[in-house]
């Protein structure tokens, strides 16, 4: 049985993003999976504009769609801006969903969030789940929110709270189990 393929991306452009840190910890726990760890920045996406799209999909959009299409499941870590998905990240999702194909359909997703505040990006995840329904993603119920994210990681980038780390471990295991079961079903 070939290993499942995961596309991992954080919904932020900032180099020191807490969510990229969180994503790295999650990826380390995805033993046995083949992970494509992307940086949102590398796709150099413009803001979505129907008039721009009419001239053809920008090259970064084409690459983003291909990378998503190649995966069995998505590992996502997103900031929360104003109680919802960052516009920057939603813009990437909007572009990736454009015709001729929906690369999200039928794949699984594990969603996570880190934020400096008390709610740990919870509201961003609630908003993201709604978006992922129409994209046809199986977003598993397990999710991880990291509150007070500026103090949540140690110098080596690991989660300081062992309970949170164990929760992430279990979430990643559930994600891999479900992704594998859905990939290999008849």
Catalog residues that contact a copy of itself under the rule CB under 8 A.
12-17, 45, 47-52, 81-95, 97, 118-119, 122-123, 126-127, 129-143, 147, 177-178, 180-182, 184-185
CB of 180 to a copy of itself, least distance (A): 7
Query: Measuring CA to CA, which residue among 110, 119, 117, 126 is closest to residue 76?
Result: 110
CB neighbours of 167 closer than 8 A, spacing ≥ 6? 144
CB of 55 to a copy of itself, least distance (A): 12
- How distant is the alpha carbon of residue 29 from its chain centre? 15
Spatial distance between the Cα atoms of 180 and 19, rounded to a whole number of angstroms: 25
Residue with Cβ nearer a copy of itself (8 or 86): 86
With H, G, I as helix, E, B as strand and everything else as coil, classify residue 166.
helix
113 contacts 19 by C-beta, under 8 angstroms: yes
Residue with Cβ nearer a copy of itself (5 or 28): 5
Residue with Cβ nearer a copy of itself (17 or 159): 17
Residue with Cβ nearer a copy of itself (112 or 147): 147
Residues in the chain, overall count: 186
Spatial distance between the Cα atoms of 186 and 181, rounded to a whole number of angstroms: 10
Residue with Cβ nearer a copy of itself (26 or 96): 96
CB of 13 to a copy of itself, least distance (A): 4
117 contacts 148 by C-beta, under 8 angstroms: yes
CB of 109 to a copy of itself, least distance (A): 10
Residue with Cβ nearer a copy of itself (50 or 162): 50
CB of 162 to a copy of itself, least distance (A): 17
Instruction: Detail the DSSP E strand segments found in the chain.
Output: 5-10, 34-37, 73-78, 108-114, 138-139, 144-146
CB of 171 to a copy of itself, least distance (A): 12
């Amino acid at each position: 049985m070939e290993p499942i393929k995961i596309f991992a991306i954080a919904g932020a452009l900032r180099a020191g993003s807490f969510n990229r840190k969180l994503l790295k910890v999650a990826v380390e726990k995805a033993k046995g999976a083949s992970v494509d760890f992307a940086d949102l920045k590398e796709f150099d996406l413009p803001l979505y504009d129907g008039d721009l799209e009419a001239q053809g999909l920008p090259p970064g959009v084409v690459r983003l769609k291909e990378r998503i299409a190649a995966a069995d499941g998505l590992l996502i870590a997103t900031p929360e801006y104003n109680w919802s998905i960052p516009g920057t990240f939603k813009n990437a999702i909007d572009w990736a969903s454009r015709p001729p194909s929906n690369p999200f359909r039928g794949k699984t997703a594990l969603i996570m969030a880190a934020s400096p505040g008390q709610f740990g990006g919870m509201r961003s995840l609630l908003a993201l789940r709604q978006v992922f329904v129409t994209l046809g993603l199986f977003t598993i119920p397990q999710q991880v929110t990291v509150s007070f994210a500026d103090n949540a990681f140690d110098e080596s980038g690991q989660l300081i709270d062992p309970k949170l780390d164990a929760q992430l471990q279990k979430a990643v295991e559930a994600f891999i189990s479900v992704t594998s079961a859905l990939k290999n079903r008849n």
